[in-house]
Amino acid sequence: MLNTVSTLPMLNTKKVIVTGAAGYIGGQICIELKSKGYFVIGVDKRHRPHLDPYHDIFLKDDFDSYLSHKLIRDHKPVAIIHCAGTSLVGPSIKDPETYFYNNVQKTINYLNVLKNTSIETKFIFSSSASVYGLPVQTIDESHPTNPISPYGDSKLMIEKVLAAYSRAYNLNYVSFRYFNACGADQLSSHGQEPDATHIFARVFEAGLNNSNFVMNGINYPTEDGTCVRDYIHVEDIANAHVIAIEENISGIYNIGSRKGYSNFDVFYAVEEQLLYEKDIETGIKFIADNPREGDPAILIADSSKLQKDTSWKPKKEMKDIVEDLYYWYTSKTYRGLGTFNPL
């Protein structure tokens, strides 16, 4: 069913559809769009009431459904931001069928509706740094693509579909290759859900719940033996999507901070924040475990192309990421999402 919800005052009538609108990144994109005055149409199989103020229309349904397709036909949005899909590397290795069906087949079905209905709509795709596979350097968009997981394969397949549809049908698209999304809305309106698998979430929950943190891999060929990643704040990611609508860009772009932090860097940054806030008295306990299958040692983005072609640049540093996350994990909104209670 379609649900119409109250919203912030509307400054313009440009309509944008966001699939995966109840998710971590999709939800933050909706917040950013509403702050810029867009008419936001959210689509997700789940409904998250704390995001209701940021949807003018919300459809609780699969993005590849009759009602979801009808939204394209009825509203002919200026842009579709496609965040829906299945998104973890490890599970994709054990269950590739789900990833290829959800991420590839359904997206092609959705694109065909767009092609036949509203080809002037800009399509902005949530891709991933996983398309690069096992890089050996800081990665720009010209780096060879060689995914090592079905999840990465599924993202690369859709990038190839988008390029082909652009050539054949004049589809206007942007594909954003996300590096490691992190942080939370600075007003604690939205963030990761309880029991998320990303490292910041796991360290915060371990510290606030007085449980052990499991460190996956301490023998990587890096300075401290743990994975090195480029962490980019979710607000910076959301801002890039609005810029992609408003500025004349197309094609593939990395979204990253151009900086690398190891798992130990993240662990100690969160621990320091919790000690400062007096939520813990001593350090967070951690257990060393085997590396996760499909995890490369180093992933660092070169996002200079996006910064050169647009007005975008990352604004949030590690200290901002950790501080925003602290206020999210101790917020009433977060506590209302699940059973985990840090207080």
Cite the active site residues.
151
> Residues, the chain, total?
343
Q: Tokens in use for 332?
A: 């009433």
Q: Tokens in use for 25?
A: 């990144």
Strand-pairing partners, residue 59, are: 2, 43
d(CA 267, CA 271): 6
d(CA 131, CA 126): 12
Q: Which residues contact 68 (CB under 8 A, 6 or more apart)?
A: 19, 43, 59, 61, 62, 110
Residue 64: which of 89, 38, 82 has the closest Cα?
A: 82
β-pair type (2-4, 57-60): antiparallel
Helix axes 234-246, 24-35, angle to 10 degrees: 50
Whether the CB-CB separation of 89 and 295 falls below 8 Å is answered with yes
Q: Tokens in use for 58?
A: 């919300």
Q: Tokens in use for 48?
A: 């998250």
Q: Which stretches within 135-208 are classed as H helix?
A: 150-169, 199-208
